[in-house]
Amino acid sequence: MSIETDALDALYAQIKPKGVTMTALLAKAIGVALAQHPLMYATLSSDATSVTYNERVNIAVAVALDGGLITPVLADAANTDIFQIGRAWKELVAKARSKSLSPAEYNSGNFTVSNLGMYGVDCFDAILPPGQGAILAIGASKKCVVPVDGMIGVKTIMTVNLTADHRHINGDKAAEFLQTLKEVIEAPNNLLM
């Protein structure tokens, strides 16, 4: 899905001096959208016979390390203040790079995010981690010429790709989540509440 990020970028410019990274801001937006679609962060049983709905949105975010990657978890991203998320993310990244994360800090996610936008990757497909229902791949934001009110304008657009376990998440449910995510990112002022 293509998502306009001009409003998100403006919000980011306001809160970046307060220690909030774009990763933290995106995690908050994704958490808010996920909270409206509990199936997207639900867990399928190991025998694929039942679905457990999780109480909190725990977003695992991929972090590259020398020789691999790890996914520190931003717990309860939907209900946590954006500034708390910013502080938690900074701490988690430092722990990940020093290889001092506790197991609870990297194995409690119920939805994963992989962001290669900072490397200039426009779009990619992420592989679904075992035990999770979905992973969101985030590409770089790019200036694009688009129609604006019957005229030609320039907007900043990013592409996100969703990989979902179709044993319990049908395509229509995944698409509804992406529509909500688009709405949250394109009108992000509620992320400060």
* Active site annotation includes 166: yes
In the set 69, 166, 179, 190, the catalytic residue is 166
Whole-number Å distance between alpha carbons of 142 and 152: 16
Contacts of 36 (CB under 8 A, 6+ apart): 177, 180
Show which residues are catalytic: 166
